[in-house]
Structure 1
């Protein structure tokens, strides 16, 4: 079945996870929260499966087809010729709504080169967080070791599952809506309870979890079958002082411009994200994109006369072939896109 090249509104897609959360996702979408407390991640426009699964995690379009298959059938229509030249039929992007009902474990992700060598994947898992909501007295995320840490010390923490030592070694950052944090591959990190983010990442599910006890069923789930001796080679053990941290954190909550580039500049090699507030209309160039409407309501129009009403909680996938878009109305949305092909390093 051919799918029209126009924006598609997507339903929630919440594969089961090992940690609690999901209430903020239900509230955003105006749902009843019936997915329970273990629906903390909504994989939006996903062509990615959970690690070890052939299907779980894939987004289904309203006509019952998987988005992955529709894109593979018409990659140039969905992604554009330049993107296909750089990435073939991969969207190059996974977007999630992530609502941490509890602190996530300390973990990290592999680089492209590590993933090619050990997972036979073109993509590692660099990611970024856009904080869109918080709850509790001290919403916090953790990123990067405060001081350079030896491999021997890290190995001991992992063998003994010394969670307090792991967490204490990381920088703790108080966050509020509008803050963004870029997480390069290898950087140890954790999201604290009460933090709700739109997460952009490379399209894989490679999480190497140092702090597996009380979260995962076995250490094998932590090192993804590699063994920790191998997995920990992907870990950034260098120290991240205030100056280095400032290079990956942005505070955009008070920026009221109609278009705000949300992420640290170095993220452009992996993905792009803009906050959109039409005033009264924004024109958007053709691109594969994921739209997440955070507030308000309005209208999305595209080439050939198509249009759709959009409102808070809507998530849409936009094909390149929809052409130029017009977004109008009193609303706030986040537009997530893969990198510009010419900015993508193949190192």
Structure 2
């Protein structure tokens, strides 16, 4: 495979809670006033990403996996996931609150949906004053049975709510109830899954005057209790990746670029994804250079070695996978 910095066409999703920041400030081409998500790299069925640049322009993500296998994904990822792209990379714009929701783990998702579960993380790119997120139950003494009867008068006594600021990062394992609040722009990394169980939707109605469906019974089965809020404590350093999340599904670091910087990925048995969360940078692989702007994503194939960065000031999320248990991740055929 001829490696170069690969871009994909964003897949834009209208949401009842979405806004205009993705189109106005992050170059996502849409006239809609309710774009909630930009799926940057997706292997979700019926939402397969298409290459938008270079030698492989027009080919799908699945085409690249079938053609180049380990050279593209990494041999360990081929062993673990077969020809399934294991991550879903997104940007989200929450103009209003997302529903309070929970996602199943791999075991539950495989049993009920023949799918992967959904463990994810958020990096807060922007936030309006006093913006909040929901993270877990208020305390571990609360029974999941309370999910049967949530309303505007008791919601604040059931869920843990935290104020956020730019640069905050949260790890959200499958089973943790959560919601992004109004006025927050997020970079999200997650397992390849689109399974969501809603438990509360703020009593709002859609444009037909109907409330969205809740999935309370499944949510009660999926919900787990956690001892921490999952917030990453880190201090950013120039040109040095600082780990944010390291779990069995993905490893994510952040680094600040200033000037010329070269990194050797020859010992990383995985594709590497870069999400630009601030500024602009050049990324060069095998003498092929692409600009990456805030709100854009680039994938570097696994057979790449040196990656050269050049920027007057940018922040990047670096994402790759180190498979730990190949057999447990394979879906039923």
State the TM-score bracket (shorter-chain normalisation): 0.7 to 0.9
Alignment of 1:254-333 (within 5 A): 255-264=236-245, 267-279=246-258, 280-286=260-266, 287-303=270-286, 305-333=287-315
**In the alignment, which of 114, 119, 129 is matched to residue 122 of structure 2?**
129
Show CA shifts across 1:76-114 (max 9, x none): 121111221122122211111011110111110000110
**In the alignment, which of 9, 21, 26 is matched to residue 23 of structure 2?**
26
Classify the secondary structure of the residue corresponding to 1:142: strand
Show CA shifts across 1:147-197 (max 9, x none): 22224332233xxxx244234411111111111011111111111101111
Alpha-carbon distance between aligned partners in 2 of 1:11 and 1:215, rounded to the nearest angstrom: 31
**In the alignment, which of 175, 182, 201 is matched to residue 193 of structure 1?**
182
**In the alignment, which of 217, 220, 230 is matched to residue 229 of structure 1?**
217
Alignment of 1:1-347 (within 5 A): 4-23=2-21, 25-30=22-27, 34-49=30-45, 55=46, 57-62=47-52, 63-121=57-115, 123-135=116-128, 137-147=129-139, 148-157=141-150, 162-212=151-201, 213-214=203-204, 221-223=213-215, 228-236=216-224, 238=225, 244-245=228-229, 248-252=230-234, 255-264=236-245, 267-279=246-258, 280-286=260-266, 287-303=270-286, 305-342=287-324, 346=328
Classify the secondary structure of the residue corresponding to 1:210: strand
Alpha-carbon distance between aligned partners in 1 of 2:59 and 2:278, rounded to the nearest angstrom: 29
Higher share in helix: 1
> Number of residues paired by the alignment?
317
Query: Unpaired segments of 5 or more residues in structure 1?
Result: 50-54
- Contact 2:274/2:299 (<8 A) preserved: yes
Alpha-carbon distance between aligned partners in 1 of 2:197 and 2:175, rounded to the nearest angstrom: 9
**What's the CA shift for 1:46?**
1.0
Gap change, CA 1:45 and 1:151, over 3 Å in 2: closer
TM-score scaled by length of structure 2: 0.85
Higher share in strand: 2
**Coordinate RMSD, CA, aligned:** 2.7
Query: Unpaired segments of 5 or more residues in structure 2?
Result: none
Alpha-carbon distance between aligned partners in 1 of 2:126 and 2:241, rounded to the nearest angstrom: 18
